[in-house]
C-alpha cells in the first residue's frame, strides 16, 4: 500500500489541497449565512430558507470535504512519515481546532433549526474570522516548516 501512495503522492497531496479548499469555502460561508439568518424572524419563509441552505452546505459540501481532507492528509502524513516533525504536529493541532470550528458551526446550525439561536449578528461576524486565522497558521506551517 505504501508503494502505491508514494508513487501517487502528488495526486494524494492534490486531493488533500482541493478538499481542504472546499472545506474552507464552507467554513467561510456558513457563519456569513448565520449573520443573515439572525436578521430573519423564526417561522418566516426567509428563516426556513436559511435553515435549508445551511443544512445543504453542511451535509453536501462541508462534511464530505472535511472527511476527505482528513483522509488524504493522514494518508500523506503516513506515507511521508511526518509524525515526529514539530511543524506537522502543530498543523495537526490547528486542523483539530478547524474541525472543532466545523462542529461548533454544525451545532449552531442545529440551534437555528430548533429556533434556539442565542447569538447576535455581531457574534457571527466575529466568529467568521476563526477559520481564517487557523488557515493562516496551517499554511505557514506547511510552507515554512519551522523547526
φ and ψ at residue 118, rounded to 5 degrees:
-115, 0
How far does Cα 23 stand from its chain's mean position? Answer: 5
Q: What is the pLDDT of residues 73-116, one digit of tens each?
A: 999 999 999 999 999 999 999 999 999 999 999 999 999 999 99
Q: What is the pLDDT of residues 55-73, one digit of tens each?
A: 999 999 999 999 999 999 9
CA–CA separation, 42 and 44 (whole Å): 5
Task: Give this prediction's pTM.
Answer: 0.94
Contact 89, 73 (CB under 8 A): no
For 139, other C-beta atoms within 10 Å of its C-beta total 13
Strand extents, DSSP E, the chain: none
Amino acid at each position: 500500500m505504501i508503494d502505491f501512495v508514494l508513487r501517487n503522492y502528488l495526486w494524494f497531496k492534490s486531493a488533500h489541497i482541493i478538499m481542504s479548499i472546499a472545506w474552507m469555502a464552507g467554513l467561510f460561508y456558513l457563519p456569513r449565512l448565520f449573520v443573515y439568518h439572525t436578521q430573519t424572524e423564526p417561522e418566516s419563509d426567509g428563516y426556513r430558507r436559511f435553515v435549508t441552505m445551511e443544512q445543504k452546505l453542511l451535509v453536501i459540501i462541508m462534511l464530505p470535504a472535511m472527511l476527505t481532507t482528513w483522509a488524504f492528509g493522514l494518508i500523506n502524513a503516513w506515507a511521508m512519515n511526518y509524525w515526529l516533525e514539530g511543524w506537522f504536529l502543530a498543523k495537526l493541532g490547528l486542523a483539530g481546532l478547524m474541525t472543532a470550528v466545523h462542529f461548533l458551526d454544525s451545532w449552531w446550525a442545529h440551534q437555528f433549526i430548533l429556533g434556539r439561536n442565542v447569538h447576535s449578528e455581531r457574534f457571527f461576524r466575529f466568529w467568521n474570522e476563526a477559520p481564517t486565522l487557523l488557515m493562516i497558521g496551517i499554511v505557514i506551517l506547511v510552507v515554512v516548516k519551522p523547526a
